[in-house]
Amino acid sequence: MDFKMDVASLEGFLAEAFPQVANDFAIEAAGEEMVVRMKIAERHLRPGGTVSGPNMFALADVGLYLAILQRLGPVALAVTTNASIDFMRKPAAGRDLLGHVRILKLGRVLAVGDVLIYSDGEAQPVARASMTYSIPPR
């Protein structure tokens, strides 16, 4: 697979296009499976000291978005058209989350992917997301 963007260009694009969230994420690995880290801080927690569901969703959404950009190049207007997330267990307190992203289909108009979310250092996933993105005409 020929990738259009490397880790540095993806992180630069995120910082430019989405500065409000760019510091929350780092790309740990790129390629057929991308691994994106969400740097968990106090603002990501809900009562009970666990990462909130909306933040786990954000990791899945940003992760798949970056995986699509890696393959297509900087397509800022690609948008989520469908999303489903299963919360399977409570994330470990005080640990970053890692999203393991796979693109299952990359077509002309739609991209479909899965994201398994783990607490850093844990073997079992805390959530699984399935998402579809609409790709604007090029």
What is the separation, in whole angstroms, between the first and last Cα of the chain? Answer: 20
Q: C-alpha distances in angstroms, 110 versus 25, 64, 67, 79?
A: 24, 12, 13, 10
Question: For 6-10, which contacts have Cβ atoms below 8 Å and span 24 or more sequence positions?
Answer: 6/30, 9/74, 10/66, 10/69, 10/70
Q: What was the pLDDT predicted at 97?
A: 98
Q: What was the pLDDT predicted at 127?
A: 98
d(CA 34, CA 15): 18
Number of other CB atoms surrounding residue 96 within 10 Å: 21
Locate the domains of the chain by residue range.
Answer: 7-134
d(CA 25, CA 1): 24
Residue by residue, pLDDT tens for the chain (138 residues) are 678 999 999 999 999 999 999 999 999 999 999 999 999 998 888 888 889 999 999 999 999 999 999 999 987 778 999 999 999 999 987 899 999 999 999 999 999 999 999 999 999 999 999 999 999 887
Q: What was the pLDDT predicted at 94?
A: 84
SS3 content of the chain, % helix, strand, coil (to 5): 25, 40, 35
- Model pLDDT for residues 33-44, shown as the tens digit of each residue: 999 999 999 888
Identify the CATH homologous superfamily for domain 7-134: Hotdog Thioesterase (3.10.129.10)
**What DSSP line would sit under 13-43, residue for residue?**
HHHHH-TTTGGGEEEEE-SSEEEEEE---GG
d(CA 128, CA 22): 22
pTM of the complete model: 0.94
Q: What was the pLDDT predicted at 19?
A: 92
